[in-house]
Every structure is written in structure tokens, then in C-alpha cells.
Amino acid sequence: MTTTHTEHKPTQVTGHTRTSGDVLFSIVNYSFFILLAVLCAYPFYYLIINSVSANDLSALGDVRLFPQGFHLSNFEQVFHLQGLPMAAAVSLARTVIGTTATVLASAFLGFMFTQERMWARRFWYRFVVITMYFSAGLIPLFIIMKNLGLTNNFWVYVLPFVVQPFFIVLVKTYVEGMPRELQEAAEVDGASVLRVFFMIYLPNMTPILATVAIFAAVTQWNSFQDTLIYVTDQSLYTLQYLLYMFINQANSLAQAAQNAGGNLGALADAASTQTPTSIRMTVSVLVVLPIIFIYPLFQRFFVKGIMLGAVKG
Amino acid sequence: MSSPTVVTEAVTTTIDHAADTKGRKRADKPRRKTSFKLFLLISPFLVLSFLFAYYPLYGWVYSLYDYKPALGLSGSEFVGLQWFRLLVSSPTQVDQILQVLTNTLAISFLGLATSILPLLFAVLLNEVKITRFRNAVQTLTTLPNFISWVLVYMIAFSLFSSTGLVNDILLDSGIITTPVKFLDTDQHVWLSMTLWSIWKGLGWGAIIYLAAISGIDPSLYESAKMDGAGRFQTMRYVTIPQLMPTYLVLLLLSVANLLNNGMEQYYVFQNAFNKEHIQVLDLYVYNIGMTGNSLSMATAIGMLKSLISVALLFSVNAFAKRVRGQSLV
């Protein structure tokens, strides 16, 4: 799979004469997919055009097809909102640190579980993989996190994500497909297991690690539930959590809007004064933009990942 | 294992046998040491796995106490099976849990009923012969899978709240005179939740079928054509049957997950109006445990849910083993 999309050549043998039924089907079929594509894409477009339109117009709901009174000052102004710069930093930090940790751990464990000499290897592999299929539940997990001192702690965003059985299975399958001789040759030369991993296997695993990285990064960036359950300290709120609060707290948001506007003093006019709508739209765009940009670039990795996962079951 | 390795091993074994016991011990020791060293290298990760997956199971004992966080477990009263008895004996509790179970199963069954849609999506998209169009559709319809439920709710809010786009358009065009409450309502909650799930997951769900279609043996299509099968007959008698095994595996897995709807979607869409019909088990556990402070009751319910889910998974797996001769997990 080398192209950006699922490589499926039209499988049907073409060449038979097209009947009018065929033509009708094609028209209906194409229209159906155009409709679906619009249903999926328009909401994103709607958020974006509203975030760059005059704030008085967006508050009235008048921006529907094209931006009106185009301006980009919202993106600067939302950063005056209390807590937002911090939340953006937390979201970014957990995505970068969490993803790095997950990728390295998955690579290492996926590789190590192919080492047949390891003591009780099969047992430990099952010990890890079986955790995919059960969960103690939300409350016991909360109490344990609390006992471990991980509530209101940044590391609650990272540590539970380090060992992820699904990724380990993906990497292990991949490593099993790599030539064994790589390791044997290096060991003849006296290289240790760690050296073999870092110098030989890690650099040759990039395709599967890219898949893992994308999945992990999207999960980290989108994560909301862990903030909800484990965090009350406002300095650890994420963008997702802040957005959720902004949607639900219209009153406090209006207050926040005024405060943010106040920073600009006399410069503020109706088109650039923050409104609850403009704040929500702008924060939403901040939340979704990284996904939209990264997504088409890495779509092929997603596809590859889900296929490998499907093969393993 | 390649044959040279086998030969080497055979040679080593012969040498081992020839050597005296003392020599063998000496040869074994470093090997055992390496073996244990390899284990030590992964042990920190095993500790993490234990801490976040196994150790919380110990938390199930909280269901036997009247746990008050301020008092700690030792200070809390041991109540035995009180919470489990309450679940089946207290009328208000029974009513509540039945409603929650109904919601859970209703939404899950709607999910099962609509699980064929990604397959149909893939079959129809395969009929689109313009590659660029097909890729564009795939990209756009997969995007919603990669956003959070908070953002889905934001979209729902900006389009369907009483001041949202849909109401604006309906009001402007004079079709309605007062805004329709799409979100703040107890009507059609299960259905709207299912529709949002479909919106989010349809394109992504189709990817696996599209890949499966590309793996179908082309000779099947050739013979279908020889037999004079048209487009629809080919879809019906070749493509769809070929996708059925994949579909059934996914269907069985969703049966195993009947009770696990997750809570995020329902949490973000939850409000004072729709609470009765949106509370699925996962959300209910959160609501009574984290906001209602009945930590022990919530643990008891969560524990029963986990046990039933594991039992379901085992049954479904055994069923799959018998029917297809291959297990799911």
C-alpha cells in the first residue's frame, strides 16, 4: 500500500454496453456520495468561516456559505482568554510527550516480545495483550489513580497510555516480518540487545511507528474524559475540556468575552469584539485545525494500521 | 526458522550432549542470565501494565464497603453485598437500572442494526470509477472519525441548538415560527445518538471493506461476467458475499461490546431534558459515582458490567470458534 488511499482498482470487468439503468444508477450513486461528502465536510467549513467572519454577523448566525467581514484577529484574541494559553500548552505537551512515550514503548516492547530467549516470554506477552479485553471500570480506576497521586497530575495524561497492547501487537507483527539475520549478524559482532534495537531495528520500523504515532497523537489531542475524571486543577485543563466548558457556560463565557475585549480597549468594534459564538468557533477551529492538516498527509498510515489490526484480529 | 539455523542448532545439541555435565552447566548459566536480563529490560513496562490494568481490579473491594473517600477504605464501613442486594430489591434503584439498561441495549441494538451501512457504503463507492472522486469522498467522510466527541457536540450545538443554523434557516424560510428543540429534548434520543455515531464512523468503518474488496479474486468477477451477470447481480452475488466474513467478525465483536457504549458521547450530549433516555451504563456509573458520590454503588455496577462483558466476549469467541473454526481474539 504505497499511495495515499486504499489501493482498490476497479474490480469489475468493464466493457459491457452501458444500459440506461446503468447511467441512472451512476447518477444516483454519484449524487449520494456528493451529499455524504457535503454532510461530513460542511460542519467543519461552517466552523472555519464563522471563526474568520465579523463577530457581530457570526453571532447572528448570518455566516452560512462564505466568510463575511473577513478578519483573523479572533485567533490572536482568544489567547487573551483566561486559561486558554495554558490549555493549549497542556494539550500540545501531552500530545508530544505522550505520543513519544507510546511510540518508543510500543517499538521496544514489540521488538522485545520477539526475543525467544526471554524468560517466560509467552506468558508476559499474554499478560500485556490480555489487558485489551477487560477493564476494572471507571471508579476503581479513579480511586487507584488517586492513591497513586496521579489525580491533578500532568503524568495522568501520559503514564496510562505508555503500554498499549494493540500497538505492541502491530509492532511485533511487523518485526516478525523483518529478516532475522539482521540481529544475528549484529550479535556475532558482539552487539547487545539494546544496541540491536536502537541501531538496527528502530530505524527500520518507521512505517509501522508512523502509524502508531498518528493513532497515538490523535488520541492524545482528542482526549477529554481523563481531564473530566482525574483533573480539577485548572492549570491542567486541555483545549478539549475548555471547549466543552465554553459550549456549556454561556454566561461565564460572555464575561470572559468582555474581559478579552477589554484588553484591546478602544480598538474594539462590533466586528472584532469577542462574542460567545466567536470564542466557541475560534477555539473549535484551534482544536480541529491540527487534525485537518495532518490527516490527509497521513491517511495512508491509518489505512495500513487498520489493515494490520484486522489481520491480527 | 530457516534451515541453516536448524542445522546449527542440531550441531550445538550434539556438542552439548558430548560435553560433560559440568561443561553444560557452565554453558547454560550465561544463557539463563541473558534470558532474565531480557525480562528485566521490559519489567518497567510490565509494572505500568500491572498498575493501570490489573491493580485497579483490586478496587472492586470498594463495592463491599460504604466507601467514603475522606475516611479511606479502613475507615469505611464494610457492608458485604448490600449494594448488590439494593440493585435488585430497592424499587427506585431497580427502576433506574432498568431504564439505564434499556437505553444501553437500545442504543447498542440500533448500532448493530446499522452496522451493515459501512459495508454498503464500500460496495457503492467501489462502483465509482473516477479515482479522484472516490479518494475525495473517502477523505472527507473519514475526517469525522478523527475529531473528539466534544467537537462533534460543538458541531451539533452550532447547527441544531435553538439559535443554530438549522433553526435559523427554518425560521427564515417561514416553515416554523418557534425554534425546534433538537438537543434539549427527550424525543428520539436513541435515534439521534445513533445518527451522530453514524455521521462520525461511517466513512472510517467503510475502509476495512474497501480494502477487503480490493482483495477479492478478480476471476470471480470474470466468471460472473461470463455468466452474464449485470452490475447489480455482481454486487449482490459476488462482492457482498465476499465481504460477509469480515462483516460477521465485526458484528460478533460488537455483540461482545453490547454493554460498552463508552460515556464520552453521551456525557457531552447529556442535559436536563434528555437525561432519562441518554444515560447508558458507562455514563450512569460516572453520574452516580463521580457527581452523585455513590462510589461504592457505582463500583458494584461497573464490576457487574465488566464481568458480563468478559462473559459475552468468551461466549462470542467460543461461538466463532465453533462456526468458523477460528477464534476472534
* pLDDT of the residue at B11: 39
Mark yes or no for CB contact A7/B214 under 8 Å: yes
Q: Does residue B159 fall inside a structural domain?
A: yes
CATH of the domain at B186: 1.10.3720.10
| Count of the separate structural domains present in chain B | 2
Q: Which residues of B touch A296 (CB under 8 A)?
A: 139
Mark yes or no for CB contact A139/B149 under 8 Å: no
Q: Does residue B251 fall inside a structural domain?
A: yes
- Report the percent of chain B where pLDDT is more than 90: 64
Residue pLDDT, tens place only, B288-328: 999 887 899 999 999 999 999 999 999 999 998 888 777 77
* pLDDT of the residue at B33: 83
Q: Which of B72, B98, B117 is the last residue of a domain?
A: B72
Are both B92 and B148 inside the same structural domain?
yes
Mark yes or no for CB contact A142/B163 under 8 Å: no
Pick from B262, B137, B142: nearest CA to A291: B142
Please state the length of chain A. 313
Are both B92 and B68 inside the same structural domain?
no
Nearest to B136 among A37, A137, A223 (CB): A37
Mark yes or no for CB contact B211/A6 under 8 Å: yes
Amino acid at A268: A
Are both B122 and B67 inside the same structural domain?
no
Are both B7 and B143 inside the same structural domain?
no
* pLDDT of the residue at A4: 42
Are both B234 and B293 inside the same structural domain?
yes
* pLDDT of the residue at A298: 73
Domains of chain A by start residue, with CATH = 20-81+237-312 (no CATH), 84-234 (1.10.3720.10)
Alpha-carbon distance B118 to B124, whole Å? 10
Distance from CA of B81 to the nearest CA of A (A): 17
Q: Does residue B83 fall inside a structural domain?
A: no
Would you say A313 and A7 are in contact if contact means Cβ atoms under 8 Å apart? no
Q: Which of B21, B44, B72 is the last residue of a domain?
A: B72
Q: Does residue B237 fall inside a structural domain?
A: yes
pLDDT at A111 over 80: yes
Mean pLDDT of B234-260: 92
Are both B56 and B202 inside the same structural domain?
no
Are both B154 and B203 inside the same structural domain?
yes
Residue pLDDT, tens place only, A85-109: 999 999 999 999 999 999 999 999 9
Pick from A59, A176, A197, A187: nearest CA to A116: A176
Mark yes or no for CB contact A163/B45 under 8 Å: yes
Mean pLDDT of A188-202: 91
Chains A & B: contacts with CB separation below 8 Å? 284
Query: Taking all residues of chain A, what is their mean pLDDT, rounded to a whole number?
Result: 86
Give the predicted TM-score (pTM) of the model. 0.87
Residue B151: domain span? 88-324
Q: Which residues of A touch B251 (CB under 8 A)?
A: none
Dihedral angle of Cα B182, B188, B192, B198, to the nearest 10 degrees: -160
Distance from CA of A97 to the nearest CA of B (A): 17
| Local confidence band at B141 (pLDDT 50, 70, 90 cut-offs) | very high
Q: Does residue B280 fall inside a structural domain?
A: yes
